Amino acid sequence: MPWLLGMIFGVFVGATPGLTATMAVALIVPISFYLEPNAGLALIIGVSFTAIFAGDIPATYLRIPGTPASAAATLDGNEMAKQGRGGLALVIDLICSCLGGLIGVGILMLIARPLARLALHFSDFEYFWLGVLGLSLSALVSRGSTLRGLIAAALGILISTVGMDVVSGVPRYTWGSFELLEGLNFIPVMIGLFGFAEVLRNVTASREMAAPANQAQQAGTTRTAIRQIWKHKWLVLRSAVLGTGIGALPGAGADIAAWGAYGLAKVTSRAPDKLGTGSYEGVIAPTSANNGAVAGAWIPALVFGIPGDAVTAIVLGAMMMYNITPGPRLFEAGTQVQAIFLIALITQFLLLPAGLLGIRAFDWILRLPRRLVLTAVMVFSVVGSFAIRNSVFDVYVMFAFGLIGFFLEAKKVPLAPVILGLILGDLIEKKLRAGLISSSGDLTPLFTRPICAALVGLLVVALVIVPAVRWLRTRQRVATPSDG
């Protein structure tokens, strides 16, 4: 049963902030060579899916995302934990991860090739609009004042410009430090903004924060979880499909998929104001999407032999060690691909026990007195920031952003748009400039390329039509204007 053991390993690596799914897979690959090919692949695939789910555990309990793809879980998941419903949030999260994975693998099995062909049409300008769409959704993602949301997003974009510029090869805002050449790594930034800032907030709060009620699984948790998921079944489907599609693009991954699904949930929700306050929808959408994206990343890998992300790149390397050549021929040959699909499907079911074990294992942290929990957050923050590239510099970055995050929250500036700005700002800028280099400065393809035009249309729908319809509806419903 190396498979299940591997998945438990995936849970722990994924749940440790700073140790990403990529690292989990890279660490397990040498071990997998001692197994026969299918067992080895099972081990690797198992680790990749579990690590993505497990990242949500500390994000929910401690507000420190375990992997980049879990940043969205620090919103509603963590809010639910604060309300004493963390166990429920994670059970929902776990089940939706399995469902997202299942849907993703289903798409992979059925329409990998057409989807891969569609993904080929994505070039720089399409990515640009995708990024703009994501960033605009962030304005919706943030609660409260739009101005503060914009400030947060702008700050994120500003941070994303630090480092060696890929387009021109010129270092920017690095002040002669080569640690800054690669830019500010967004994991320490994220850990600082969310985790360390939370510690500061608690320490400086005049009275001890009310300890969350017993987070452990209460009777009926699973039933409530299933009922809520059933109620939001279309959201699960939408998010997983979106996630798989984004995962299939080599330029975007599980992190962007999770945010995209969160934004989509906000646009399509009947009660958009509830997102961010610990709503079920806010938990369900990102987690369905990020596991879908893990499956999606396999699409270009299997159809073209081009890895969709770092994890599939490692797996392709491992497959070659087993004398399996990934790419079009593998897809046509059949049996090996069938085995991979089967493994990926069974993995989703094994994720349930492995994930529950992970949730239980982290549960005890929350039964500790608050001050010990804060200590644990500190330890995780420092270790996680260091671990991402073995650099003490990143620990300083984490501390600095902890202070920034603390300050921003004190001024009621939301933190999620900062992270979105950081992830998407980089994508938007690079792709726009690369696209303009490619078109020799011509702006027309930005609107006339078919997918671009479609994305612009979506943008208009999301930003103009949906709010307009909503506004009209509320006006009809409320005869006399109230304070809202």
Partner 1 sequence: MFQQGLWKQFAAGLVVAVTALGGGCGQQGPYPNRAITLICPWAVGGGTDRVSRFWADALQQELGQPVTVVNRTGGSGAVGHSAGAHARPDGYTLTTITFELCTMHRMGIPAAPTFDDYRCLLQINADPAALIVRDDAPWKTLDEFLAAVRDGPTKLKMSGTATGGAWDLARAGLLQAADLPTDSVIWVPTEGAAPSLHELLGGHIDVVCCSIPEAAQNLEGDALRALAVMSDERLEEFPDVPTAREAGVDWVAVGWRGLAVPKETPEEIAALLEKTCRSIAESDEYRNFMRKQRFGVKIRTSDDFTAFLREQDAQWQSVVQSAGYARE
3-state secondary structure of 280: helix
Between CA 341 and CA 129 the distance in angstroms is 32
Residue closer to partner 1, measured from CB, 216 or 463: 216
Residue closer to partner 1, measured from CB, 62 or 264: 62
Cβ contacts of 231 within 8 Å, gap of 6 or more: 280
Q: How far is the CB of 212 from partner 1 (least distance, A)?
A: 17
Q: How far is the CB of 318 from partner 1 (least distance, A)?
A: 9
The CA-based angle 402-405-406, given to 5 degrees, is: 85
Residue closer to partner 1, measured from CB, 215 or 287: 215
Instruction: Report CA torsion sign: 306, 307, 313, 319.
Output: negative
The CA-based angle 244-246-251, given to 5 degrees, is: 135
- 3-state DSSP helix/strand/coil % of the chain, to nearest 5: 75, 0, 25
Q: How far is the CB of 259 from partner 1 (least distance, A)?
A: 19
Closest listed residue to residue 246, CA positions, set 399, 363, 107? 107
Q: Give the binding site for partner 1 (CB under 8 A).
A: 22-23, 25-26, 30, 119-124, 164, 166-171, 174, 176-182, 185, 250-251, 300, 304-307, 310-311, 313-314, 316-317, 320-321, 323, 325-329, 364, 367-368, 389-391, 430, 433-434, 437-438, 440
Q: How far is the CB of 347 from partner 1 (least distance, A)?
A: 20
* Tokens representing residue 322 in the block: 């087993």
Residue closer to partner 1, measured from CB, 35 or 345: 35
* Tokens representing residue 205 in the block: 């709060």
Between CA 329 and CA 72 the distance in angstroms is 37
Q: How far is the CB of 308 from partner 1 (least distance, A)?
A: 8
Between CA 203 and CA 374 the distance in angstroms is 9
Residue closer to partner 1, measured from CB, 146 or 168: 168
Q: How far is the CB of 258 from partner 1 (least distance, A)?
A: 20
Residue closer to partner 1, measured from CB, 166 or 203: 166
Residue closer to partner 1, measured from CB, 125 or 280: 125
Beta strand pairing call for 163-164 and 171-172 = antiparallel
- Taking each helix axis from N to C end, the angle separating 37-54 and 2-15, rounded to the nearest 10 degrees, works out to 30
Q: Is 39 exposed, middle or buried (0-12, 13-18, 19+ CB in 10 A)?
A: middle
Residues facing 164 on adjacent strands: 171
* Tokens representing residue 161 in the block: 């410009």
The 3-class secondary structure across 13-60, one letter per residue, is HHHCCCCCHHHHHHHHHHHHCCCCHHHHHHHHHHHHHHHHHHCHHHHH
Q: How far is the CB of 314 from partner 1 (least distance, A)?
A: 4
Residue closer to partner 1, measured from CB, 400 or 434: 434
* Tokens representing residue 287 in the block: 């987690």
Residue closer to partner 1, measured from CB, 226 or 368: 368
Residue closer to partner 1, measured from CB, 11 or 225: 11
Q: How far is the CB of 120 from partner 1 (least distance, A)?
A: 4
Q: How far is the CB of 117 from partner 1 (least distance, A)?
A: 9
- Taking each helix axis from N to C end, the angle separating 21-32 and 2-15, rounded to the nearest 10 degrees, works out to 150
Q: How far is the CB of 468 from partner 1 (least distance, A)?
A: 35
The CA-based angle 250-237-314, given to 5 degrees, is: 30
